[in-house]
Amino acid sequence: MRDALLLHETDIGARKRARKQADEEKFGLAVEALACNLILLSAIDCGPRLAVPRSHGLLWRGDGSANPVYGQHFLSAIDYLASLGLIEEEQRGYRLSEKMRLPSLIRPSAALAEHLPLAPPDWRSVTQIDDRALIILKESKDDAGRAATIAFRETANTRQLARQMGRINEFLRSADIGVTGQNTGLSLGKDGQVIAPYRRSLRRIFNNADWRQGGRLAGGFWMGMERTERFERIRIDDERIADVDYRQLFPRLAYVRAGKPQPEGDIYDVAGDGSGRNGWKTLMNAMMFSVGPLRNWPEDTLQHFPSGTKLREAIKMLLARHAPIASLFGAGLGFQLMRIESDMLIGIITHLASIGVTALPLHDAVLVAESKAHVAADAMQAAFSTWTGSSCAIVSVEFCKR
C-alpha cells in the first residue's frame, strides 16, 4: 500500500523533489500504522470509525516524546488514502469551543481490500510497539472534565519513571496472555479501544501538572473490559485469572496519613448495617478529591441513599463515623493518595515479574493466573506494610465463578 501511495504522490505532483530516505521511512511507518488500524476496524462487527489526530499540538510535540508515526507524513498518508478512495473521511475534526473538540473520523472503503487483508481480516499479525510517551503529565481537568497533556523537560526523575515502565512493558510483551472467543472477530471495550492481547504496552499518567499526584497506569486491553468479562475471557499461562485487590485502600491510606489506627470492619459501611455502601464509598472518595466542601451529590450516588436524604446530613454522618480523618476531607488529598497507590502497584508488579509471575495492574488490584493468587496477595500485603508501616491492609482474592 505504501508504494501505491508514493506513486499517487508522484502522479499528482504533490512533491517537487524526491523524499529523503529518512522521510520515506517515516512515511512508511505512518502508512503501516494506519494499515494496521484499518485491518483491526474490519475485524470488529460493529463497524467503528477510526479517530485520527490532526492537531498541531499532538502531531508535533516538543518534549522529545513525540510518536514517530505522527507528523506531516501522517497527514499526507491520510490525504492520499482518501483521494484514492481507499478510505472514507466521515468527519473532519474541528473545535467546538476553547475546551471542546470533535475528532476526525475515517473508515476503510471496499477498495482497500485490494491492498490489505480485510476479508477475512488478518488482525492476528498486528502487534503494538511501545509509545515513546511512557509517562504523561497532564494539567488539571477543565469544566468539561478534560485535561491537556503538558510538554515537560527530562530530568533524572522522569528518566527513572520511564525506565520503570519500559521494564514492565518488556516483561509483559513476552508474557503468555490470551483472550478467548476471538476466532470470529474482535470487540471494543468500554473505553472504545480494541480488546486484543497485543495491547499490553502501558503508560503512566500523572495529574494536575505535578509528578507527586496520580501516576495510575493506562493502556492495557484488560482495563476496558467489564469485570465479569475479564474472568470469563482472559487467560494467563493458559489459566483462568484471579482478581487480587486491596479493600478500602484510599481511606486506609488516609488513616495512615493522619497517623491514626485503622478502624475495625468495613470502612465504607458508614450506616453500620451495610446499607448504601456503594453510595458511601463514592461520597467518601469524592470528599477526598475535593478542594473545599462538596456542594452537590457526586454522580450516581444519591440513589443509594434513602429518599429525601440531604447531602449535608450524609456528610455530617460520614464525618462523625470517620472523625480521626475528618480534617483530610476537602483537602484535595485524593491525587496524592493515588500516587502512593500507583507506586505500590508498580513495586508489586515489578516484584512479581522478577519471580516469573505475570500480573496485570488495575488501579488497586492485579490480575494473575489462579495458581499465583496467593503469591500476589502476599506481595500486596508486604507492599502495604513497607509503604505505610502498618500491617492492616485487607487484601481479597476473587476467583472466577464456574
Q: Where are the domains of the chain?
A: 1-123
Half-sphere exposure of residue 383: CA atoms within 13 angstroms, side-chain side: 28
Residues paired with 51 in a beta bridge: 105
Exposure string of 353-374, with b = 16+ CB inside 10 Å and e = fewer, is beeebbbbbbebbbbbbeebbe
Backbone angles phi, psi at 363, to 5 degrees: 60, -95
pTM above threshold 0.95: no
Q: Give the pLDDT of residue 100.
A: 54
Q: Give the pLDDT of residue 269.
A: 93
Give the C-alpha separation, 250 to 113, whole Å: 51
DSSP-derived letter for residue 71 is: S
CA distance to 24, 319, 330, 333, per residue, from 284 (Å)? 54, 9, 10, 12
pLDDT digits (tens, 9 = 90+) for 44-88: 877 788 988 877 656 655 555 567 888 889 999 999 999 999 999
Q: Give the pLDDT of residue 234.
A: 96
pLDDT digits (tens, 9 = 90+) for 221-242: 999 999 999 999 999 999 999 9
- Cell triple for 7: 506513486
Backbone angles phi, psi at 397, to 5 degrees: -125, 125
Give the C-alpha separation, 166 to 174, whole Å: 13
Return the H-helix or E-strand segment holding 379.
helix 373-388
Look up cell 483521494; give the residue.
Answer: 83
Q: Give the pLDDT of residue 400.
A: 81
User: pLDDT under 70 in the chain at which residues?
Assistant: 56-66, 94-101, 144, 402
- SS3 state of residue 152: coil
Residues 6+ apart with CB under 8 A from 182: 196
Give the C-alpha separation, 321 to 319, whole Å: 5
Residues 6+ apart with CB under 8 A from 333: 254, 257, 288, 289
Overall residue count recorded for the chain in this entry: 402
